[in-house]
Amino acid sequence: MTASLPEDAGKAAIAEKGWWQAHQWLLLRRLTQLSILIVFLVGPLFGYWIVKGNLTSSLTLEVLPLTDPYILLQSFVAGHEIVSTAFIGAIIVTVFYLLVGGRVFCSWVCPINIVTDAADWLRRRLHIKGGARFSAQTRYWILLMTLLLAAITTSIAWELINPVSIVHRGIIFGSGFAVMVVVSIFLFDLLISRKGWCGHLCPVGAFYSILGRYSLLRVSASKREQCDDCMDCFMVCPEEQVIKPALKGKGKGIGPVIMDVNCTNCGRCIDVCAKNVFSYSNRFNNSTLLNVANKKEVAP
Amino acid sequence: MQDTARTLCGVSLLGLGLGVYSRQTHSLPATALRPPGVKNEKDFLSACVRCGLCVRDCPYDILKLSTFSDDIALGTPYFTARKIPCEMCEDIPCVKACPTGALDKELTNIDDARMGLAVIVDHETCLNYQGLRCDVCHRVCPLINKAITLEPRHNERSGKHTLFIPVVHSDSCTGCGKCERACVLEEAAIKIFPLKLAKGELGHHYRLGWEEKEKAGKSLVTPDQEHKYNLPEGLKYEHEGQGLMKDLPE
């Protein structure tokens, strides 16, 4: 089979598995993202305080503190001692992402993900090609820069322009400026740089990539020998470079589990693959030998 | 290599711009007051994660998170005294809610809060300075007769009345802003300013004679000696309030 057109990515899977099956993880992800927004919003809108605060730090049902470890790290570098409730919250969050994969924040929680996914979807439909290219390492340099800047300015400087928290805070606390940030990021990803923000620049994502370096939950190309090279997974993947070693590395003795830190565990590849190559797995299920044994067990 | 250099250059430029911008946000506008428990702006900006939990737990909806139009470090909590002042809750819920200690938990008595300092900025419009008995700032003060007192002065204009001049005492004023909110003028004559703008500071080498004398229990310089006057014959000077006397021959 030859590669399908960008806008046709996933059509084969729909024909093969049906629309719902071919969108199950995408729908579950959107449901999760919206649910998180909703639990934050029922407090300010209806007065039922399930969760107070926002993504940088929150308190759930008056007992569970959750804090973004990245912002607390910046605070620490800026000179603030972090022995506080926020520290406990950051540990809880860190342990969670150590298990499920750091970038799960990006694809399952972050409100910007919906924006950049929409931009990428439209980009494929409108056949927009080219644009500015950033080195794959840019986000890590920006991450380093934000930490240096925190130390030099003794303030959490990145928060002045961080679109992730600006948008989330804007939605929860009501600030019209969030709309402008959303539009800017959308247009940037649509017209200026393909997968530019989440895939190349965002230091929050870079931080969570590093956090998830040794995470347990992974996507695996467990039935990679069934791959018919349709390229649909590459088309929809927000970090397409992560797929190739796992999918095509059998000859080189590379296991089928996607071990790249930048994989967001979004599961879109599982959705769009008509041949059911991909599935959620764990990092230890990565032997090239095990692969043969697993073939029978994996759900259709 | 070239790619790395280009990336580094771009990232550095971004960092430089952001750094300059962040320095600017350190200068908080004088009208924006921080919630109780903030010692100084520098420490606060290293600690506040902009979660808004203080805003949520303020029972009077006084605190706001700043937005881009405010000239305040983005997303940080503040209040404006003239619009809505701090109610000085005894249990200080905003400080309790803060997860990072940006609002210092050591503040347990709201009277110890120093959100700013009230200053009579305009003597020319303050009604009490005109000899009227407005007294509103004094009467709304939660620490009445401690943070704001009324000091009697002679009214030179009428020649026979008393001015009751409101005087703010920094050892008691919490900067809650009730006086600024209540000032009856179109533009308040009493305003809350951040401490660094409102408060003078004596040179550290300064010693006030009368305080030192009290501390030591005695004069630290040569004791006062009786003054010698070189007066014309027949005159003498008496100290006990009598002044120049004619020294009448007996």
Residue type, A196: G
B17 touches chain A (CB under 8 A): no
Tens-digit pLDDT profile for residues B103-122: 988 889 999 999 999 999 99
Rounded Cα gap, residues B179 and B139, in angstroms:
8
Residues in chain A with pLDDT < 50? Answer: 290-300
* Whether the Cβ atoms of residue B59 and residue B126 lie closer than 8 Å to each other: no
Interface contact A67-B99, CB threshold 8 A? yes
Q: Residue A245: how many CB atoms within 10 A of its CB?
A: 17
Rounded Cα gap, residues B227 and B237, in angstroms:
10
Rounded Cα gap, residues A41 and A35, in angstroms:
10
Interface contact B45-A54, CB threshold 8 A? no
Interface contact B51-A53, CB threshold 8 A? yes
**Which residues 36-95 of chain B have a CB within 8 Å of chain A?**
42-43, 45-53, 55-57, 65, 67-69, 73-75
Which residue of chain A is at minimal alpha-carbon distance from B25?
Answer: A160
Facing residues of A65 across strands? A59
**List of chain B residues whose C-beta atoms are within 8 Å of the C-beta of residue A79:** 43, 46
Q: Best mutation site among B1, B6, B11, B34 for testing chain A: the one with the most A CBs within 10 Å?
A: B11
Helix (H) / strand (E) containing B151: strand B148-154
Size of interface A-B (CB pairs under 8 A): 149
Q: Residues B122-128: what's their mean pLDDT? A: 93
Q: Is B171 exposed, middle or buried (0-12, 13-18, 19+ CB in 10 A)?
A: exposed
Q: Residue B187: how many CB atoms within 10 A of its CB?
A: 10
**Which residues 170-229 of chain B have a CB within 8 Å of chain A?**
none
Structure token digits, residue B183 = 């000032």
**List of chain A residues whose C-beta atoms are within 8 Å of the C-beta of residue B23:** 153
The values of phi and psi at residue B235, to 5°, are -120, 145
- The mean predicted confidence, pLDDT, of chain B is 88
Q: To the nearest whole angstrom, how far is the Cα of B142 from the nearest Cα of chain A? A: 30
* Whether the Cβ atoms of residue B26 and residue A155 lie closer than 8 Å to each other: yes
Residue type, A206: A
Q: Report the predicted TM-score, pTM, of the whole model to 2 decimal places.
A: 0.81
Could you tell me which residue, A290 or B24, shows the higher pLDDT? B24
Interface contact B18-A157, CB threshold 8 A? yes
Report ipTM (2 d.p.): 0.81
The values of phi and psi at residue B149, to 5°, are -120, 160
pLDDT score, position A62: 85
List of residues 6+ apart from B219 with CB closer than 8 A: B213
Interface contact B99-A145, CB threshold 8 A? no
Interface contact A57-B23, CB threshold 8 A? no
Size of chain A, expressed as the number of residues it contains:
300
Rg (CA), chain B: 27
DSSP string, A185-228: HHHIIIII-TTHIIIII-HHHHHHHHHTTT-SEEEE-TTGGG--
Interface contact B14-A79, CB threshold 8 A? no
Rounded Cα gap, residues B62 and B71, in angstroms:
18
A184 touches chain B (CB under 8 A): no
Facing residues of A218 across strands? A281
Q: To the nearest whole angstrom, how far is the Cα of A195 from the nearest Cα of chain B? A: 17
Tokens 């010698």 correspond to what residue?
B228
Q: Residue A167: how many CB atoms within 10 A of its CB?
A: 24
Q: Residue A93: how many CB atoms within 10 A of its CB?
A: 22
List of residues 6+ apart from B70 with CB closer than 8 A: B29, B32, B78
Dihedral (CA of A126, A131, A132, A133) sign: positive
A145 touches chain B (CB under 8 A): yes
Q: Is A49 exposed, middle or buried (0-12, 13-18, 19+ CB in 10 A)?
A: middle
**Residue A75: which of A156, A165, A140 has the closest Cα?**
A156
Q: Is B59 exposed, middle or buried (0-12, 13-18, 19+ CB in 10 A)?
A: exposed
Q: Residues B18-38: what's their mean pLDDT? A: 86
pLDDT score, position A290: 47
Q: Best mutation site among B2, B14, B21, B46 for testing chain A: the one with the most A CBs within 10 Å?
A: B46
Range from A231-235, B31-35, B135-139 carrying the lowest mean pLDDT: A231-235
Cross-sheet strand order for the sheet of A64-67:
A51-54, A57-60, A64-67
Rg (CA), chain A: 20
pLDDT score, position B149: 94
Q: Indicate the pairing of strand B64-65 with strand A217-220.
A: unpaired
Interface contact B46-A145, CB threshold 8 A? no
**Residue B118: which of B28, B30, B25 has the closest Cα?**
B30
* Whether the Cβ atoms of residue A6 and residue A127 lie closer than 8 Å to each other: yes
**List of chain A residues whose C-beta atoms are within 8 Å of the C-beta of residue B101:** 80-81, 83-84, 86
Interface contact B49-A58, CB threshold 8 A? no
Tokens 């939950």 correspond to what residue?
A217
Kindly report each contact of residues B62-66 with a partner whose C-beta sits within 8 Å and lies 24 or more positions away, as own/partner.
B62/B86, B62/B87, B63/B35, B63/B94, B65/A169, B65/A173, B65/A175, B66/B32
Backbone torsion region of residue B145, taken as left when φ is above 0, otherwise alpha when ψ lies between -120 and 50, otherwise beta: left
Residue type, A24: Q
Interface contact A165-B6, CB threshold 8 A? no
Tokens 């204009």 correspond to what residue?
B157
